[in-house]
Amino acid sequence: MAQRNHEGETAGDLLGDYLRNQAMRFLRGLRLHECSGADAAEASDASEVMRGASRRISGALLTFRPVTDPPWADGLRTELIWVSGVLADEHAYASRLARLLEALHRLSGSAAPQIPAARGAAGPRGGLALGAARAAALLDRQLTLARTRAHSATLQAFGSARFHAVADAVAVLASEVQVDPVAARGDVHQVLVPLASVAESRLAEAVCRLPEPSRIHDEAQDAFWHTVRRLLRTHRYALEVLGEDVTRLATAGEALDRHRDAAEAASASALAARTPRIAPATAYALGVLHADQRHEVEAARLAFQHVWQRSAVRT
């Protein structure tokens, strides 16, 4: 699997370098976040840096667990998953709202003048445009509220003893990685490459278990793709440790990110449609929006399959 030449490097060197780099990245993100103050865009960038580093550290700790001190690795991984979960929520609500408003704009903006509803006997009052505007206002209200709550939760988490302990642990990681002394002295090809292969096999198996991407409204299938998304990330970070090219995995991962985003946007639209006392035109626009996002789910699945088949994965 490995294509780079790792002669003279031990498993501990390579994994240690990667973990230290990601730990320093996490700390940079944290400093940026602390300095961002009221600048929401800067805080969002900082949060993304911290999430990326958290995911990479926990991914590497999972795949290469036998090379580390396992109890330490498991503990740190649990805490980093918590941190990136907290950070992800606020970002998710903001980007979900942006995605839904963009879709509503597309659906009503281009279709409104020609839509039969706007030409019909009842005049323009029944067109998608009116319902879309109301649906946009409703989603804006609901998702902004959720984002505000997530923001408060993030601030609360940042002030907690638990978070300070994670930050301390990452600061230690930036200078010293706790490894298994025997495994860490081993050859990269003998130790890390086989462990990375396990991550790759898990991914390949999950891809094989994917249902045919045909019944797009069957939301029970989404979970299969979310699993592949998670395993693909783990595999990707393992390859990053080995210094491999991950371009195609990143492209496949983007399709799965879109899949997740569209699936959650569709759910948000369905949820908004259950708001009591909304107008039928609003509910109608939310129905159109739901179906539109489910079709984005479908498109993302096809895009993933396309990239995946082209990438000639070695199982």
Interface with a second copy, residue 283, by CB under 8 A: yes
When the beta carbons of 83 and 273 are compared against a second copy, the nearer one is 273
Cβ–Cβ under 8 Å, residues 57 and 19? yes
58/169 Cα distance (integer angstroms): 13
Interface with a second copy, residue 23, by CB under 8 A: no
Interface with a second copy, residue 295, by CB under 8 A: yes
Binding letters toward a second copy, positions 84-123, x by CB under 8 A: ----------------------xx--xx-xxxxx--x-x-
198/212 Cα distance (integer angstroms): 25
Cβ–Cβ under 8 Å, residues 131 and 115? no
SS3 content of the chain, % helix, strand, coil (to 5): 80, 0, 20
When the beta carbons of 61 and 130 are compared against a second copy, the nearer one is 130
Establish how many alpha carbons lie within 13 A of residue 90's alpha carbon, considering only the half-sphere containing its beta carbon. Answer: 23
Interface with a second copy, residue 280, by CB under 8 A: yes
> Binding a second copy by CB under 8 A: which of 128, 146, 179, 300?
128
Interface with a second copy, residue 47, by CB under 8 A: no
Tell which residue, 188, 286, 290, has the closest CA to residue 239: 188
Interface with a second copy, residue 217, by CB under 8 A: yes
Residue 293: CB minimum distance to a second copy, A? 9
Binding span for a second copy by CB under 8 A among 63-71, 144-152, 245-253, 265-273: 265-273
When the beta carbons of 136 and 179 are compared against a second copy, the nearer one is 136
In the DSSP assignment, the letter for residue 125 is: G
> Binding a second copy by CB under 8 A: which of 287, 303, 305, 313?
287
Interface with a second copy, residue 262, by CB under 8 A: no
Is residue 301 classed exposed, middle or buried when 0-12, 13-18 and 19+ CB atoms within 10 A define those classes? Answer: buried
What SS3 state is found at 54?
helix
243/5 Cα distance (integer angstroms): 10
Interacting residues toward a second copy by CB under 8 A: 106-107, 110-111, 113-117, 120, 122, 126, 128, 215, 217-220, 267, 270-271, 273-274, 278-292, 295
